[in-house]
């Protein structure tokens, strides 16, 4: 038996396949998942699992470069926004239109994970990143300016209490 982390074999495999720029979406129970998508349906019943429960197991295992969500979330679904700030770095937040979340982002997503959440605008696109510090740890390797911001920033620890 696997000792820790995600026990669902398909979800664990999906996360392991996410590369730089790939999109993994975590969506609510009513999301219109495209027919050709790699769908991982974890919905059991209303709000089981919740979005927060899924973030809590996915965020520690996935390097995320962008978190894309409907712009309505910050103002109209404050509990969801708070959950996002717990599990993901606000510096990586990219609000988009709701139409983008159910249209172009869903079409481009490599994986779509369906929750049981009944959460307004609860469709979040996580864009895979890389560990820039690991890539640029050789002092003889020049760091282009476009990557400097990633190297100079304080690390974000998903789920950690912040000041």
Which residues belong to the active site? 20
Angle CA(63)–CA(6)–CA(58) in degrees, nearest 5? Answer: 35
Contact yes or no for 68/127 (Cβ under 8 A): yes
Q: Phi, psi at residue 47, to the nearest 5°?
A: 60, 30
């Amino acid at each position: 038996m696997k000792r820790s982390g995600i026990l669902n074999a398909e979800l664990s495999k999906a996360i392991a396949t996410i590369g730089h720029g790939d999109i993994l979406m975590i969506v609510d129970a009513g999301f219109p998942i495209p027919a050709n998508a790699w769908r991982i349906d974890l919905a059991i019943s209303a709000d089981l699992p919740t979005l927060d429960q899924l973030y809590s197991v996915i965020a520690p295992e996935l390097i995320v470069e962008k978190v894309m969500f409907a712009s309505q979330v910050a103002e109209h679904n404050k509990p969801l926004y708070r959950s996002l700030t717990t599990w993901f770095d606000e510096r990586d937040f990219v609000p988009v239109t709701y139409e983008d979340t159910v249209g172009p982002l869903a079409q481009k997503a490599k994986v779509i994970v369906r929750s049981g959440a009944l959460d307004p605008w609860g469709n979040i696109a996580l864009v895979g990143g890389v560990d820039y510090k690991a890539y640029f740890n050789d002092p003889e390797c020049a760091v282009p300016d476009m990557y400097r911001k990633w190297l100079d920033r304080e690390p974000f620890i998903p789920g950690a209490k912040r000041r």
